[in-house]
Amino acid sequence: MKKNVYLISILFVFNACGTLNMVQIEEPVIKVYTDLTDSKDELFVKANDWMIGMFVDASSVIQFSDKEEGILIGKYLMNGETRTISSFYGSSIDSRVYAKIDIRVRDDRARISIEPLSPWRYDESGLTIFDYSKEKFYEDMDRIMLSFYNAIKADKIQF
């Protein structure tokens, strides 16, 4: 009887932990804004300023910038962290999800593309640090794209 209770409790613990699923998004999400009235140079400065404001730590970086072509490419930390587990061997758990943000500007137009750099683990039970779902990723992308649009639609700073 004690063995049965013990086995049932072990099965319950393993079942409660859930399973880790891999989340993969195959194609980038792209938005094109054509209702702009600024020159390519003005849009580039606004987009660059927006990226600097969004990329607030060392995990998110602007990797490529070309003003002549109107291109900005960066790696952005969407969610997650690295946790170090104190043990004899010292190990770490990485739940970071990075995305490539690609911005192209032309006269009166801008395009933003967001694409995850790799698949990530997701635990739907919510009991682990792998709690970043595909739905949350899309919500964050919408928030980022709205923030970008508001930044490039803003009036020029007058001195």
| Segments of the chain scoring below 70 in pLDDT | 1-19, 86-90, 125-129, 157-159
How far is Cα of residue 20 from the mean position of the Cα atoms in its chain? 19
Q: Check if the beta carbon of residue 89 is closer than 8 Å to that of residue 95.
A: no
Determine the Cα angle at 33 with ends 28 and 35, to 5°.
170
Per DSSP, the three-state class of 72 is strand
Q: Check if the beta carbon of residue 138 is closer than 8 Å to that of residue 23.
A: no
Spatial distance between the Cα atoms of 12 and 46, rounded to a whole number of angstroms? 54
Sign, CA dihedral 23-74-51-60, equals: positive
Q: Check if the beta carbon of residue 41 is closer than 8 Å to that of residue 108.
A: no
What are the structural domains of the chain? Answer: 17-153 (3.30.530)
- Report the share of the chain in percent with pLDDT over 90: 52
Q: In angstroms, how far is the first alpha carbon of the chain from the final one?
A: 82
Instruction: List C-alpha distances in Å: 133 to 24, 53, 76.
Output: 10, 25, 17
What φ, ψ does residue 89 adopt, rounded to 5°? -90, -20
Question: Is the pTM for the entire model greater than 0.85?
Answer: no
Look up residue 54 and give its DSSP letter.
H
